Structure 1
Amino acid sequence: MTTLFISDLHLDAERPHITELFGRFLDAEARGADALYILGDLFEAWIGDDDPSATATFVADRLRVVADGGTPVWFMHGNRDFLVGQAFADRAGMAILPDPTVVDLYGKPVLLMHGDTLCTDDVAYQQFRAQTRDPVWQAQFLAQPLAARIAFAKQAREASKAHQSGLASQGTMETITDVAPAAVAAAFQQFGVETLIHGHTHRPAVHALDVDGRPRERIVLGDWYEQGSVLRVDSQGHRLEALA
């Protein structure tokens, strides 16, 4: 049997082929897996569990089929869908994991994160993250009319694009938006694990590291902007592969 890890699908109405690819992935693989872990940014944006979009309905219905078929579905908030709440989780049949979380993976403790907290050099983003994770801010935001929340999400996406464009023009995009080595080392030290799985950076790879004289492994999941990406793990090892 196999455990599946995905992240950074960024599903929305503007890329229906990716939503369809996700549906095929769920039907073909996820329904027979030991578990499915979604490590954040399942959606391009999330304005509240009352989101009436067809994409949200499609995802909830398809994930519910997977969960009802016996495959546990675990979800971790990302930087785009941190407002996914218990109501949507219940619709989709998935359980919400805190970030970070250590899970037992075939007898081995593995640290799971979305990955954005590791990008500590991006000070502007970390300040925004602290603001939007505040329960008071979230309650005030969710109390606004749906139209106002939709407008805010659009504005936030444009601000994110402008921020990244500014970093690119300064030549700092690659370093600031990637993980900071010190933050990665600190995570390994704090949790005492040998393996870390995360997304967020859209730089799929398997990194062999040395932290405090011990070999460690950092596995970065890929995004789904142009194609799919999945990490398959079983008792024999792991495979990080693209989906078309």
Structure 2
Amino acid sequence: MSTLFVADIHLCAQEPAITAGFLHFLRTRARAAQALYILGDLFEVWIGDDDPNPLHHEIAVALRALGQRGIPCYFIHGNRDFLLGQRYASACGMTLLPAQQVMQLDGLRVVILHGDTLCTDDSDYQRFRRRVHQRWLQRLFLSQPLRLRLRIADRMRANSLHANSGKTADIMDVNAQAVMTVLAHTGATVMIHGHTHRPAIHELPGERRRAVLGAWHLQGSAIEVTAKGVTLHEFPFGG
């Protein structure tokens, strides 16, 4: 049996091909797995569990169906959907995990995370992340009317796109020392993350590996862990 990891699906109503591809993945590849881990940015934006967006219900039904087949689903928040709460997780039948989780899989000690905390060279983003993860600010935002929350989220998205357009690719990638620090602190030999949209498996000093998930822009991306090792898969939405 295998354990599957995905991230950066970025589901939204404006991208029906991505939605169809992810639903197909849940009905096919995911059903052959022992467990599914979603490492953040399942949705392009999340303004609260009370958002009646039909897409949210459609995805919840599909994830719950996976759980009903005996395949548990776990979720780590990303930078797009860090407000996803227990109400929606329960509707999906998935378990919320902390920002960083260590596990034993097929003889490997693995640490999983979204990946944005590793991008320490992007100081502007790290300051922004610390600000929006303040619980009082999150509670204040979630107390606002849905329409206002959506306007705020749209403005923040536009500001983010503008800010990122002036940054180099290296600044927005992970910091090598941050990666090695997490591996050292956790004792893991394998790290799996998303966020950077740079799918690859990197060999690191000390016989360690960093496996990076791709974004679901034009195709699907998943990392599979089995007794044979760690494998990166990229596949068409219908395959």
The answer, yes or no, to whether TM exceeds 0.5 is yes
Alpha-carbon displacement from aligned partner over 1:139-179 (angstroms, at most 9, x marks no partner): 00100000011011111110111011111xxxxx2111000
Is 1:193 aligned to 2:185, yes or no?
no
Which residue identity is paired with 1:183? A
CA–CA separation in structure 2 for the residues paired with 1:238 and 1:120: 26
| Percent identity of paired positions between Structure 1 and Structure 2 | 47
Other-structure match for 2:229: 237
| Structure-to-structure mapping, 1:141-156, within 5 angstroms | 141-156=141-156
Which residue identity is paired with 2:229? G
Other-structure match for 2:201: 206
| Structure-to-structure mapping, 1:1-244, within 5 angstroms | 1-167=1-167, 173-210=168-205, 214-244=206-236
Number of equivalences: 236
* Runs of 4+ more than 6 Å apart: none
Given the two structures, how large is their TM-score scaled by the length of structure 2? 0.97
Q: Could you list the runs of 5+ residues in structure 1 that have no partner in the other structure?
A: 168-172
Shift of 1:108: 2.0
Shift of 1:218: 0.4
Tell me if structure 2 keeps the 8 A contact 1:31–1:70.
no
CA–CA separation in structure 1 for the residues paired with 2:229 and 2:107: 12
Shift of 1:220: 0.4
Shift of 1:5: 0.5
Matched position secondary structure for 1:34 = strand
Alpha-carbon displacement from aligned partner over 1:31-74 (angstroms, at most 9, x marks no partner): 23100000000000000001111211111110000011100100
Give the aligned CA root-mean-square deviation in angstroms: 0.8
Which residue identity is paired with 1:190? H
Which residue identity is paired with 1:118? L
